[in-house]
Every structure is written in structure tokens, then in C-alpha cells.
Chain A
Amino acid sequence: MTKTMNERLQLLYLPERGFDQLMPLHIWVGADERILNVGPTFQKIWGDDTVTGMPVFDVIELRRPQIEESLTAILAQEANRLTVGLKNGSDVAFRGTFVPASDGSGGLLNLSLGVSFNKVVTDCRLVLSDFSYCDQTLDLLYLAEANAAIARENRNLTERLEQAKQAAEAQALTDSLTGLSNRRAMDAHLKSLTEPQNPRFGLMHIDLDFFKEINDTHGHAAGDHMLAHAAKIFRSEVRATDIVARIGGDEFVILLRECDDPSLMEGIANRLIARLEEPIEFAGQSCRVSASAGSVLSTQYDQADPDKMLNDADLALYASKNRGRAQHTFFNESLLAPISGSLQTH
């Protein structure tokens, strides 16, 4: 005759330590709602006072489902997922399941640490033997530790890469948006151009007009598109050996090698401005800009000095802006007087 499940369970006499070993976090509740036994790990998490003998609802609180704290109510929760807290001020949240005794005289509540395992292990100073060998909390601990170590390694790597990137950017010679030379590269080219005796080159400083309006009305993507467009025009209007640089937001410098002809520079500047003024489409909208320019030739100086040339080209550029923009001005000494005059009026 085969035995019924109930009969088999009757025969399953576990040794006293059986429950503790299988379920180190169990609470065995008697018919009088008092605790008959708890697992050793539960006792450790609770603290020094002996839990056995206490009324169960002085020890645990049912956080979910939110039902009346009585044996009758909890007996009806068989097989449901319970969230259980402690009434000693600790913020541990156990996951639990309750099995009523077959005769209805109390039952067995088994708990696990759930995702709060890391904090409980730390706060209650648990050790390896506090966990059942079947409990995967140890694997989770392992994973959490490994994760923390890997995250640290990743952070270190990211920091090193960021530093390397900054170092590379500091040494870069190209403007990443337009592909033109950047300010650093332009300074280096200008310095080497002024080094020979009696150098022969032209320097043109260009500033886009109404660029801020494009950024403000059409957005930065449109602004970036316009800068790249302008760069393409500048590049196509000069020889490959000439240097075109973006030295600031919407400021460009062109260095024309072997050039001592003011009318040639004037011609280039006017072509650049005319081509820039052709409206371009961006995201279905028409964008218009223009440019003001100012130029100098190295042959205008007894001693060509990079800073002086840049400064003078800048004065010529501002003369273009003052005269109503969208034009080119060639630097001459007379520009120094009225500008310094107007500065004094400020």
C-alpha cells in the first residue's frame, strides 16, 4: 500500500536542528501567537534578546499585504508573498511565505533577505555560516563585490581616457567641427610665416555677420551647419597651400602664402562674402548670413610681427563692421586714429 503524502510527512521526523539548517531565517508560531522557535540567523538579525516565547506580532510587522496582525488573518495568506519588517526599529525588509500547521495550530513563516541582503549582512555582521548552503545570497554577495570592483576599474579607466582625451585635445591642431586648422595651428603657421627675412604673405580675419541670430532662431545645429558651410566656401576659394583656420566661435583667419597684392586679397574677400550671402537650406528652413573681413599684408611692415598683424587685421575687420558689415577693409595706418578716438568716447 502506498502511503499518502500526509502519512509520509508524519514519518518525516526532522532532528531538532533540521529546521535551523534548512531555514536559518524561519519563525515557528504556535496557536497562542507566541514564537515556538526561530532560526539562528533570524535571532542574530533581531539582536541579543531571545525571540522564542515572544508574541510574534511584537517581533514582526506585516508590511504587505496590509492585513490585520492576527494569526487568523495570516493563516489565510497561505502561499502568498509576504513582505515582513521588524518591530525593533530596524528597516530590514524580508520576503516571506507562511505555511499553516495541518491542524491550524499556528504555522511556519520562512523568510529571506531579498534585495536588502547587502545592508543586512553589513549591519548585523553576518558570516558565511549564517546562510544555508542552498541560499544564493552568497552568490549575490559575490556578485555585488565583483560588481563594485569592476565598477571601480571602469571608473579608473574612464578617468584615464578622459585625461588622455584632454591631453590630445590640448595638442590637437584641427577644429573638429569644420576640419579647418584651429587657433593653435594658425598661431604656429603665422609664427613660421613671419620668421624669414622680408616675408610675403597676406592675413585675412573674417567674422560672420548675423551668426548669433541663426543660432538663436534656428538652433545650434543650424549654426554648426552654417559654420561647416562657411568653412567649405573658404577652403574652395584659396589654394591648397594656403591656411584656413577657425580661431573662435564664428571667427576665421586665412593666411595666403606668397601674396603681396592688396587687390588680390580684396577680390578673394568679396568672392567669399558674395558666396556666403547665398541663402542655404537647413532642415527645410532658409538661413542667411554674411561676413565682414579685414586684411593686412606682411609687406606693409618693416618687421612682420604675428600679434601686430592679427591686431591690425582685427581693426580692419571692425572698420568693416562699423561701416555696415558685409564688406572687406584693407588695413592702413589711418584706421588706428578714429578707432582709438571712438574707444575714448566709451
Chain B
Amino acid sequence: MHGLVNRALQRFLVDTYGQNVWDDVRLEARLTIENFESMLLYPDHMTMDTIKAASRVLQRDRASVLEDLGTFLLSSQGLEALRRLLRLGGDSFYEFLISLDDLSGRAKLAMPDLDMPELTFVQIGESSFAVDVNWTFPGAGYVFLGALRALADDYGALAIIEADEASGGKERITIELFDADFASGRSFSLAEQLQ
């Protein structure tokens, strides 16, 4: 698994629960390293072990840990770059959802060795949609569930976003969009300069 994913997971645990929890998770997962480096590659089992250990240490089920990770990725101050990258997808939450088809390709442009989930946008009804998440790593659907909920807030859209049970390696998230402009949302300008 790419270090960016592992590093994000570590950051989520440290920023949300503190260094002590991260140390406990590290021991529980029998990681041989103190920190994940975002620019290195790690064996896949290290990511799985870390998630399993986090769920045990926090005494919470895997799905809710992963969902919180997704929310964290989009709302943390330190990860502003990720939010900006996703918001480049569209001016509205609906346009953003459509742009998810391109996300994996765009990420590959920037980082060819990053194994990104394949996302497929499916229009079900006029205001109901689904996003299929296809990744080697099971549970990614929950990360996107948290991320999409955070992004709907970010756009100021009123939507019900739920996880559908996994089937055949695919995990499905369903979205019922009630009001695309429910609230004003967080401001977003292409011109915001990254530090």
C-alpha cells in the first residue's frame, strides 16, 4: 500500500486520539516502524493490521473507524490540499459526484504508483445516485462514505448518504440529494494559494 494512505491513517489516529493511542496501535499491529513515510511503499498487510489494531484499541467497529478516517481526510486543517484537489472536481456537489469517474485517472497522472480505488458514478433516479468503490482494500467504501458526507457539508448540499453492503469486491454508497444548495458551504476558490 502506498505510504500516502498509511500516513493518512497514522495522522488520523494521532490527531484525533493522540500519540499514546498511535503507540498502542503500533504495538498491537506489530508494526516494525515508528512512523509511516508518505513517499514510501509498504506491504499491504501493514495497512490491514493497522486498521484491525485501531479498531481493537479504540474498541470500535472497523466500519465506523474507517468512516471517521474519511471524514478526517476532508476536514482536517493539515490536509487542506486533499480537500482542494477534490473540490476541483466541480462547482456543485452534483458535478463533483460526476467527476468521481475521473478521480482515479487524475490521481494516476500525479502519482503513477498510487493504487487508487476505481470509482464509478451511477445515476439511479433524478436525485438519487450511487458510487461504486472498487479497491483491493476491503472497507474503502466506508472511508468514502465519511469523505462524501464531509464533502456534502463542504458544498452545503443536503443529502442522505449511506453505505450499501458489499458485493463481489464492490462496495456501493448511495446518495439521495435533496437540496444541492441547502447551506452556503465552505468557500472554495481556485485562486487560494497553497502554502
Is A146 in contact with B190, judged by CB distance below 8 angstroms?
no
Interface string of B29-71 (1 = CB under 8 A from A): 0000000011100000000000000000000000000000000
Interface string of A144-186 (1 = CB under 8 A from B): 0111111011101100100000000000000000000000000
Q: Is A4 an interface residue (CB 8 A)?
A: no
Which of A58-66, A120-128, A192-200 forms contacts with chain B? A120-128
Number of interface residues of A (CB under 8 A): 25
Interface string of B102-116 (1 = CB under 8 A from A): 000011011100000
Interface string of A104-134 (1 = CB under 8 A from B): 0000000000000000011101111100000
Contact pick for B191, options A126, A129, A152, CB 8 Å: A126
Q: Is A143 an interface residue (CB 8 A)?
A: yes
Is A146 in contact with B191, judged by CB distance below 8 angstroms?
no
Is A138 in contact with B91, judged by CB distance below 8 angstroms?
no
* Given known A122-B191, A126-B190, A127-B190, contact A142–B111 (CB-CB < 8 A): no
Expressed in whole angstroms, the minimum distance between the Cβ of A165 and any Cβ of chain B is: 14
Q: Is A48 an interface residue (CB 8 A)?
A: no
Contact pick for B189, options A125, A150, A153, A157, CB 8 Å: A125
Expressed in whole angstroms, the minimum distance between the Cβ of B90 and any Cβ of chain A is: 6
Cα(A125)–Cα(B111), bound, Å: 27
Residue ID in chain A nearest B81 by CB atoms = A149
Q: Is B20 an interface residue (CB 8 A)?
A: no
Residue ID in chain A nearest B192 by CB atoms = A122
Cα(A141)–Cα(B91), bound, Å: 15
Is A143 in contact with B110, judged by CB distance below 8 angstroms?
yes
Q: Is A216 an interface residue (CB 8 A)?
A: no
Q: Provide the main secondary structure of the chain B interface.
A: loop
Q: Which residues of A contact B107 (CB under 8 A)?
A: 146
Q: Is B193 an interface residue (CB 8 A)?
A: yes
Q: Which residues of A contact B106 (CB under 8 A)?
A: 139, 142-143, 146
Chain B: interface size category: 20 to 34
Is B109 in contact with A139, judged by CB distance below 8 angstroms?
yes
Expressed in whole angstroms, the minimum distance between the Cβ of B100 and any Cβ of chain A is: 13
Q: Which residues of A contact B95 (CB under 8 A)?
A: 128
Contact pick for B91, options A128, A146, A147, CB 8 Å: A128
Is A142 in contact with B90, judged by CB distance below 8 angstroms?
no
Is A147 in contact with B39, judged by CB distance below 8 angstroms?
no
Is B88 in contact with A150, judged by CB distance below 8 angstroms?
no
Q: Is B85 an interface residue (CB 8 A)?
A: yes
Cα(A150)–Cα(B81), bound, Å: 10
B79-93 CB contacts (< 8 Å) to partner A: 81-82, 84-85, 88, 90-91
Residue ID in chain B nearest A126 by CB atoms = B190
* Given known A139-B106, A150-B110, A157-B37, contact A145–B191 (CB-CB < 8 A): no
Is B39 in contact with A146, judged by CB distance below 8 angstroms?
no
Q: Which residues of A contact B81 (CB under 8 A)?
A: 145, 148-149, 152
Is B85 in contact with A128, judged by CB distance below 8 angstroms?
no
Expressed in whole angstroms, the minimum distance between the Cβ of A166 and any Cβ of chain B is: 18
Is A146 in contact with B189, judged by CB distance below 8 angstroms?
no
Cα(A129)–Cα(B88), bound, Å: 11
Expressed in whole angstroms, the minimum distance between the Cβ of B92 and any Cβ of chain A is: 9
Beyond the given pairs A145-B85, A149-B85, 11 more chain A to chain B contacts, judged by CB atoms under 8 angstroms and listed by A's residue number, are A122-B191, A128-B90, A139-B106, A142-B110, A143-B106, A143-B110, A145-B84, A146-B85, A148-B81, A150-B111, A153-B4
Cβ contacts A to B, 20 pairs, < 8 Å: A122-B190, A122-B193, A125-B189, A125-B191, A127-B91, A128-B88, A128-B91, A128-B95, A143-B106, A145-B84, A145-B194, A146-B111, A148-B81, A149-B85, A149-B194, A150-B110, A150-B111, A153-B4, A156-B38, A157-B38
